[in-house]
Amino acid sequence: MDRLDAFFSSVNEVMRGKEEVVRLAATALIARGHVLLEDVPGVGKTLLARALARGMDLEFQRIQFTSDMMPADILGVTLFNQVRQEFEFVRGPVFTHVLLADEINRATPKTQSALLEAMQEGAVSLDRRRHRLPEPFFVLATQKPLEFSGTFPLPESQLDRFSMRLSIGYPSAEVERILMHTGDMEPALETMRPGLEREGLLALQQQAAGIHLGDKVLLYMHSILEALRSDRRILLGPSPRAGIQLARCARAYALIRHRAFVTPDDVLALVRPVLAHRMLSRDAATPIGEAVVEIAESVPVPV
């Protein structure tokens, strides 16, 4: 756990004032999930992805999604090798540990769907062959919340593959003044030392799966799902996959908090980032995130 603390210390030096966002993104990574970052430009989305990769000494690739991008640009392509006189598979940028899918909603649905199998199963199928992706495999996708021209909204099936939807938000006034004075955090990122290594992360992923989830907390978690599905304000409730992801993330969150068991507070802290993006409200004017938190807080907490 000392290495995990060293990881957070190094990443937080780059992502100043965003400790909770870093903690939640790391939670999704340890839970073997993926993150959708929805925010305005210039708040550090790319910086977060690079800092997570460097902090764990993982391979990093970035894809800038555009409307003319094809699935082969992501997954790879089979080409004929003139020297060997045989076909060989040339791997695409998806074959990495940390993949930044920048502005994913600018790609067409056909290209967006190329990531579905990779995110769900850690593999891609091309030309009747199945190719395993490196472990760990973590997708951090970004999209702008207020820009609709030239974009293709992510369908529910794609959104459901993301363990969390996060927003970095603007820095505090103090941190912003420091950034204005010193410039961006690129130099700090370049000199950043890994606090954790790949083998350590894989060990944490296995350890998180063994964190105790008691019967009362499990019942509490399921009661929240049922309350969300039955509330009149909710048009589309959380899926069974959402419940599985909530349990996985709760275990990883407890591990990060240096506990061997999940508490109701862990569950409440994750309800909004894990569940809200998978749901739809009946009234478009009702913020789904606020409704989810309000409904979850109305569920009795077990003693």
pLDDT digits (tens, 9 = 90+) for 123-180: 888 878 888 999 999 999 998 776 666 678 887 878 888 999 999 988 889 888 988 8
Packing angle of the helix pair 264-275, 240-256 (nearest 10 deg):
130
CA distance 114 to 259: 37
pLDDT of residue 1: 60
- Give the domain 2-200 fold: Rossmann fold (3.40.50)
Q: Please give the backbone phi and psi of residue 235, each rounded to the nearest 5 degrees, phi first.
A: -85, -45
Cα 17 to Cα 2, 13, 23, 175, 270, distances in angstroms: 21, 9, 12, 7, 19
Specify the domain boundaries for CATH 3.40.50.300 within the chain. 2-200
SS3 279: coil
> For residue 238, is the peptide bond before it cis, meaning its omega torsion is within 30 degrees of 0?
no
Long-range contacts of 149-157 (CB under 8 A, 24+ apart): 150/67, 150/106, 151/105, 151/106, 152/105, 152/106, 152/107, 152/108, 152/109, 152/112, 153/105, 154/36, 154/104, 154/105, 154/112, 155/109, 155/112, 156/236, 156/278, 157/116
Between strands 60-64 and 98-102, the pairing is parallel
pTM value?
0.91
pLDDT of residue 280: 87
The full DSSP string for 160-198 is: TT-SEEE---PPPHHHHHHHHHH--SHHHHHTPPPSS-H
Written as six digits, the tokens of 59 are 């391979």
CA distance 254 to 54: 23
pLDDT of residue 149: 65
Question: What does CATH list as the number for 211-297?
Answer: 1.10.8.80
Return the amino acid letter for 281.
Answer: S
pLDDT of residue 82: 80
pLDDT of residue 226: 96
CA distance 117 to 123: 6
Specify the domain boundaries for CATH 1.10.8.80 within the chain. 211-297
31 and 162 Cβ atoms separated by less than 8 Å? no
Angle of CA points 38, 43, 46, to nearest 5°: 75
254 and 211 Cβ atoms separated by less than 8 Å? yes
Q: Please give the backbone phi and psi of residue 81, each rounded to the nearest 5 degrees, phi first.
A: -85, 110
SS3 116: helix
The residue with tokens 């850690």 is: 122
Give every residue of the chain whose pLDDT is below 50, as ranges: none
SS3 107: coil
